[in-house]
């Protein structure tokens, strides 16, 4: 492996170990499965489980200690909930209710936080060097950096290691009154 890949893998492993050791609770990662018909029978939207992750700012870190380190860019999030009857709500509110119901239909208990539409970051040098500008990650001077927003300049952005260390510290030792 290259120095770039080695540093990214080490940062992700270190963050995962610190989160695990600090007892930080995980969230679930799922894939959204749109409503469809099967043999003319309508099937409701659902969420297919993909594993557990920790949310670390705009990134997700895989929580399986036996698997290869996983770094993902967070997508959307919902909480599993019962879908009440449609009301006179905005279209976006109704869509959010549908997503919460899909999470519940996927087998998650009510109130469970479900991350979906996350983008897996391939941990190999060609993929890291080719990260598009619309993502919050990019490589400068041989280091993976995290922008404060997608499209912001990478120069002066935090390295992945310092970003993860800072965010993990806040999760493991939250400031007084933040709980």
Here the tokens at position 141 are: 């001077």
Here the tokens at position 59 are: 């990134």
Rounded distance between C-alpha atoms, residue 137 and residue 154, angstroms: 8
| pLDDT attached to residue 177 | 67
The DSSP secondary structure of 50-70, one letter per residue, reads: EEEEEEETTEEEE--TTSPP-
The DSSP secondary structure of 82-135, one letter per residue, reads: --PPP-S--HHHHHHHHHHHHHHHTTPPTT-EEEES-EEPP-SHHHHHT--TTS
| pLDDT attached to residue 54 | 97
Instruction: Give pLDDT tens digits along the chain (179 positions).
Output: 689 999 999 999 999 999 999 999 999 999 998 878 878 888 888 899 999 999 999 999 999 988 889 999 999 999 998 877 766 678 888 888 888 989 988 999 999 999 999 999 999 999 999 999 889 999 998 899 998 877 788 888 999 999 999 999 999 998 876 66
């Amino acid at each position: 492996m290259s120095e770039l890949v080695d540093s990214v893998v080490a940062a992700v492993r270190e963050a995962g170990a610190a989160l695990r050791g600090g007892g930080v609770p995980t969230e679930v990662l799922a894939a959204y499965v749109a409503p469809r018909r099967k043999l003319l029978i309508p099937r409701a939207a659902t969420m297919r489980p993909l594993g557990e992750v920790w949310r670390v700012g705009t990134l997700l870190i895989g929580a399986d200690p036996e698997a290869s380190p996983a770094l993902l860019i967070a997508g959307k999030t919902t909480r599993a909930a019962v879908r009440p009857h449609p009301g006179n709500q905005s279209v976006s509110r109704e869509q959010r209710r549908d997503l919460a119901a899909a999470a519940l239909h996927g087998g998650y208990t009510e109130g469970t936080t479900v991350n979906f539409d996350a983008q897996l970051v391939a941990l190999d040098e060609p993929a890291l060097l080719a990260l598009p500008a619309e993502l919050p990650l990019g490589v400068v001077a041989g280091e993976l950096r995290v922008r404060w927003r997608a499209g912001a300049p990478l120069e002066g952005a935090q390295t992945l290691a310092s970003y993860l260390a800072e965010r993990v510290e806040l999760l493991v030792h939250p400031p007084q009154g933040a709980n």
